[in-house]
Structure 1
């Protein structure tokens, strides 16, 4: 049985339209976790002002900007970068884990209790956090050298969190199988990832250059929307993986 993008889009649309309230709720909850982390761990305001006021304009590159910083500013920038990466990792891990657990809960026909699903999510999150850390580092290294390797790695690693949920937290097998399946289906996986990257770029560009709305409100709206679109992407990829397993069995 061949899997088509149209079939996947229709399945994703029907699932999202049916469960939109839960998807929005999980997306909002993930956003508020990010806000809470921002409130609890606040980095040096001077470094934030350097980044937010776009002091990159007088520098030819990020390396040039770092070179012109003093030792204290370099340390604070490093702390800020680690803080932002942790915030992103926690947000992504919670969102991914919650959506995958929710889909599996519905896929099992709600045979498992809600409490057992929560217990599964708690057990799943640590392994998912490590996997996200590995994949994000790999993808960022790809983007540092050239844009295309970063996009290519994003495509090849996109199925790894979903596969992890079926592989009893086996990280290596999840990454290896994600490479194999994604490479064989570059057109289906690649289209969805590129579409997600375009949406992210458009939303970030539009909202970041909007000076009529407060920064905190922009952060809230941007994060909720990005989380919703990312959830839809995960549903699409999850459905694809389920269909690919079914076609292999047949």
Structure 2
């Protein structure tokens, strides 16, 4: 069976149009999880000010930036980085797990009981969290060296959570299979991933250049919007893998 980008976009559009309220709700909850973690674990404001001012911008590299810091600042930066990673992984895992559960429960055109959805979601969440840890470490290593390896790795690893939910493979097997399939269909997978990255970049630039709106409100709108577009990406990739698995 020949899979086209046009077909995937049409399928994704029809699913999103039917389930847009649920997708928005899941995106809002994922954003609220990030906000809650921010409220419970207060980061060092001194480190935030260092990161946001010109010291970070004027540094030639991350390593140069860290080397110019004091021992106290390095420890505080490490704590802040761990905090941000936990926040990101928690909200992303919830979003991924919820969207995958939603598609799985609706994919066979049967109304699944709520108990099935809860059991599927709770079983998927722990392995999905560890998978996100592994894939994000790999992707961030790519971005540290240069932006293109990071983008390329994002494309190759994009299918891994879908494969994990489908076949119940081990984490490593899901990653290997994702790389193999994505490499063969890099035009299809790459189109979806690059679209999401472009939308994330455009939303960030547009919203943070609006001078009137409160910063906290911008953070809320930005995160909900990014989560919605990420959900659309997951639906696009899930549909691709459904069609691919039938061939």
TM band (smaller chain): over 0.9
Distance across 2 between alignment mates of 1:66 and 1:211: 31
Verify: 1:127 aligned to 2:109, yes or no: no
Q: For the residues of structure 2 that align with 1:12 and 1:97, how far apart are their CA atoms? A: 18
Distance 1:61 1:147 in 2: 13
Q: Partner of 1:141 in structure 2?
A: 141
Unaligned runs of 5+ in 1: none
Looking at structure 2, the residues matched to 229 and 195 of structure 1 have their Cα atoms a distance apart, in angstroms, of 9
Give the Å deviation of 1:37: 0.4
Q: Is the 8 A contact 2:164 2:171 kept in 1?
A: yes
d(CA) in 2 for partners of 1:184 and 1:65? Answer: 39
TM-score normalised according to structure 1 size: 0.94
> Which whole-Å CA distance do the structure 2 matches of 1:67 and 1:87 have between them?
26
Asked if 1:245 is matched to 2:245, the reply is: yes
CA apart distance, 1:182: 0.8
Distance 1:140 1:188 in 2: 23
- RMSD over aligned Cα, in angstroms? 1.4
Q: 1:183 aligns to what SS in structure 2?
A: helix
Alignment match, 2:84: 84
| Runs of at least 5 residues in structure 2 that lack an aligned partner in the other structure | none
Residue of structure 1 equivalent to 2:190? 190
Match of 1:25 in 2: 25
Alpha-carbon offset, residue 54 of structure 1: 4.2
In structure 2, relative to structure 1, the CA distance for the partners of 1:241 and 1:47 (3 Å cut) is same
Match of 1:40 in 2: 40
Cα distance, 1:60 vs structure 2 = 3.4
Length-normalised TM-score, structure 2: 0.96
Total equivalences in the alignment: 247
- Please report how far the alpha carbon of residue 12 of structure 1 lies from its aligned counterpart in structure 2 after TM superposition: 0.4
